[in-house]
């Protein structure tokens, strides 16, 4: 009886699904979706952190504790016998009196900090995969280090750029697509390091903006732009609508880049190029756009200088750009607009501009820099120019053939400084991820002066170093902040120097 019931039941099931009564097919197959069907989800834990944390200046700059107050203060003896009195003494008489120069220095402390939040739901969802609250704090600390590196390199609170000069403009009738015989206007804005970092053709240049903070407060942040130039006008050369315009401005001390605007002389000028040299070759209509708070319309720019940031402290590029501090500044010549002047090989395995800078450090301060910080553009060009030396170049190449294989490519890691005490010294050449193209920054680790009482030429003097805050909960969120409070203290700015306006080539 049970066998009959079972057979009848199977027959009914087969009939209901349109299956032959003599066959029961299996219905389970692999899903084509990773999140569909009865399918396991093969998720690797923990998450992968695929972002660079490259902070060589922050890592190598000593951090020392401050002593309260609102600023670091120190005094220095900057010269002895500044009048150059000779030591000759006549019999029975005393020698001449020398003059000693001194100076007082201050550097105001600044707070740096970033925040992040984790909602309760995000915390629930990450359970058994990763501790998302710890991930948020870890990411905050790394972001703080990356941001601090940029301030150490290029923060600017005390060195405003001078007004951007009016451009010198000329036109030729070949090489472009500008309308021949039409009147064009050209405008320019000099940019600091922060201005260059914030500017793009798709986002515009940032003059100033109001930032809303985690607690609802606001800060007005300057974007690192000089006062815009006046508009320069030019008539495109006669031809077959193939005209070009060459434009250049007098280099601005402290500028790391220049934003260029152009368009019909009687209309709005549009952002068309951002260069790290003081010139541009205009071949076609400008196509820049803006994303708040950026501006891509020259006529809409405020006639104001936003090159300094009161929330920052001065960084290395600012110290090196300020001639009043005694640091070295070398600016490459304008050259052909849009092309500029690159570094120059001396034909003997050296670079003319680097040798001139090292000679100046020695002649004026009897010191030798330890590091030259460069962008990938300069790293590449320095290597090529050193290899361009002739047969008398002071260089040696060692080839090691292993199993018939030969590796290609060169990398310049150091440069021989012939202007140093006790024989030649080496200058390390290092890539920096945030160094603008067209700039070389020289730094010095130690002073060769006896009993200088300067252990660190550069140091971060901290009222309070990195600390974490977990804020009281006012909503269903965990709120975290990572902060520090200090200033980059520079005991001897003449130990830094800069070469700017270097063209690629």
Same domain, 257 and 227: yes
Instruction: Work out the pLDDT band at 2, boundaries 50, 70, 90.
Output: low
| Separation between Cα atoms, residue 316 and residue 495, nearest integer Å | 11
Q: Which residue range is the domain that position 286 belongs to?
A: 168-300
- State CA 455 to chain mean position distance: 27
Answer whether residue 102 shows pLDDT above 50.
yes
Same domain, 257 and 368: no
Strand order in the sheet with 63-65: 63-65, 458-470, 477-490, 110-119
Share of the chain above pLDDT 70, in %: 91
Contact 321, 161 (CB under 8 A): no
Query: Nearest 5°: phi and psi at 222?
Result: -80, 145
Answer whether residue 21 shows pLDDT above 70.
no
Q: Looking at the domain assignment, is residue 404 inside a domain?
A: no
Give the pLDDT confidence of 83-92 residue by residue, as tens digits: 999 999 999 9
Tokens at residue 155, please?
Answer: 């923060």
Q: What is the pTM of this model?
A: 0.89
Same domain, 452 and 357: yes
| Separation between Cα atoms, residue 274 and residue 200, nearest integer Å | 7
Give the pLDDT confidence of 162-180 residue by residue, as tens digits: 999 999 999 999 999 999 9
Q: Looking at the domain assignment, is residue 258 inside a domain?
A: yes
Same domain, 317 and 443: yes
What pLDDT is stored for residue 5 in this prediction? Answer: 59
Answer whether residue 23 shows pLDDT above 80.
no
Same domain, 296 and 318: no
What pLDDT is stored for residue 351 in this prediction? Answer: 94
Burial of residue 370 (CB within 10 Å: 0-12, 13-18, 19+) is: middle
Q: What is the domain-level CATH number for residue 61?
A: 3.90.1690
Element (H or E) spanning 352, and its range?
helix 352-365
Same domain, 146 and 218: no
Q: Between 78 and 338, name the one with better pLDDT.
A: 338
CB atoms within 10 A of CB 84: 7
Same domain, 112 and 188: no
Same domain, 232 and 120: no
Domain boundary residue among 270, 300, 330?
300
User: Beta strand pairing status for 371-374 and 425-431?
Assistant: parallel
Q: Looking at the domain assignment, is residue 178 inside a domain?
A: yes
Q: Looking at the domain assignment, is residue 473 inside a domain?
A: yes
| Separation between Cα atoms, residue 154 and residue 209, nearest integer Å | 19
Sequence-ordered list of residues with C-beta below 8 angstroms from that of 279, at least 6 positions apart, any chain: 246, 247, 248, 249, 334, 335, 336, 337, 338, 339, 340
Give the pLDDT confidence of 247-299 residue by residue, as tens digits: 999 999 999 999 999 999 998 999 999 999 999 999 999 999 999 999 999 99
Domain boundary residue among 248, 275, 300?
300
What pLDDT is stored for residue 390 in this prediction? Answer: 57
Instruction: Work out the pLDDT band at 391, boundaries 50, 70, 90.
Output: very low
| Separation between Cα atoms, residue 162 and residue 307, nearest integer Å | 9
Instruction: Work out the pLDDT band at 140, boundaries 50, 70, 90.
Output: very high
Domain boundary residue among 242, 267, 300?
300
Rounded mean pLDDT, 394-399: 54
Answer whether residue 124 shows pLDDT above 70.
yes
Q: Looking at the domain assignment, is residue 249 inside a domain?
A: yes
SS3 state of residue 389: coil
Same domain, 327 and 465: yes
Same domain, 153 and 175: no
Same domain, 270 and 318: no
Answer whether residue 468 shows pLDDT above 80.
yes
Q: Looking at the domain assignment, is residue 28 inside a domain?
A: no
Q: Looking at the domain assignment, is residue 150 inside a domain?
A: yes
What pLDDT is stored for residue 34 in this prediction? Answer: 82
Number of domains comprising the chain: 2
Q: Looking at the domain assignment, is residue 360 inside a domain?
A: yes
Give the pLDDT confidence of 148-161 residue by residue, as tens digits: 999 999 999 999 99
Answer whether residue 33 shows pLDDT above 60.
yes
Contact 440, 372 (CB under 8 A): yes
Single out the residue of 59, 74, 71, 67 nearest to residue 493, CA to CA. 74
Same domain, 135 and 244: no
Rounded mean pLDDT, 206-221: 96
């Amino acid at each position: 009886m049970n066998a009959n019931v079972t057979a009848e039941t199977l027959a009914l099931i087969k009939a209901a699904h349109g299956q032959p009564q003599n066959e029961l097919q299996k219905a389970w197959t692999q899903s084509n979706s990773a999140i569909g069907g009865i399918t396991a989800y093969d998720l690797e834990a923990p998450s992968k952190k695929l972002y660079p944390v490259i902070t060589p200046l922050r890592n190598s700059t000593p951090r020392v504790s401050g002593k309260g107050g609102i600023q670091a203060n120190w005094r220095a003896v900057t010269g002895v016998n500044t009048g150059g009195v000779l030591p000759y003494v006549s019999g029975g008489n005393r020698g001449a009196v020398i003059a000693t120069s001194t100076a007082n220095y201050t550097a105001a402390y600044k707070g740096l900090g970033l925040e992040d939040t984790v909602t309760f739901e995000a915390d629930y969802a990450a359970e058994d995969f990763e501790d998302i609250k710890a991930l948020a704090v870890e990411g905050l600390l790394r972001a703080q280090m990356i941001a601090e590196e940029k301030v150490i390199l290029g923060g600017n609170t005390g060195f405003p750029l001078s007004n951007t000069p009016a451009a010198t403009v000329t036109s030729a009738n070949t090489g472009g697509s500008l309308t021949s015989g039409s009147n064009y206007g050209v405008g320019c804005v000099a940019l600091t390091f922060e201005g260059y970092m914030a500017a793009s053709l798709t986002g515009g240049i940032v003059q100033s903006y109001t930032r809303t903070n985690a607690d609802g407060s606001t800060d007005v942040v300057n974007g690192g732009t000089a006062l815009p130039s006046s508009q320069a006008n030019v008539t495109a050369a006669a031809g077959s609508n193939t005209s070009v315009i060459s434009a250049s401005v007098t280099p601005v001390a402290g500028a790391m880049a220049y934003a260029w605007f152009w368009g019909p002389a009687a209309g709005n000028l549009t952002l068309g190029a951002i260069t790290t040299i003081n010139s541009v070759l205009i071949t076609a209509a400008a196509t820049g756009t803006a994303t708040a708070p950026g501006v891509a319309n020259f006529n809409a720019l405020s006639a104001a200088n936003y090159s300094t940031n009161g929330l920052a402290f001065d960084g290395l590029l600012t110290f090196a750009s300020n001639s009043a501090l005694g640091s070295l500044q070398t600016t490459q010549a304008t050259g052909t607009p849009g092309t500029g002047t690159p570094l120059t090989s001396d034909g003997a395995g050296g670079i003319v501009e680097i040798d001139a800078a090292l000679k100046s450090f020695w002649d004026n301060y009897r010191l030798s820099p330890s590091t030259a910080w460069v962008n990938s553009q300069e790293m590449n060009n320095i290597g090529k120019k050193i290899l361009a030396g002739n047969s008398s170049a002071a260089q040696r190449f060692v080839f090691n053939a292993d199993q018939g294989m030969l590796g290609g490519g060169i990398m310049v890691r150091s440069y021989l400084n012939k202007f140093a005490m006790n024989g030649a010294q080496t200058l390390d050449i290092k890539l920096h991820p945030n160094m603008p193209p067209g700039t070389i920054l020289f730094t010095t680790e130690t002073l060769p002066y006896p009993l200088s009482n300067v252990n660190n030429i550069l140091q971060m003097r901290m009222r309070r170093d990195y600390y974490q805050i977990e804020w009281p909960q006012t909503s269903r969120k965990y709120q975290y902040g990572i902060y520090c409070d200090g200033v980059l203290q520079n005991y001897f700015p003449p130990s830094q120097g800069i070469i700017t306006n270097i063209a690629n080539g």
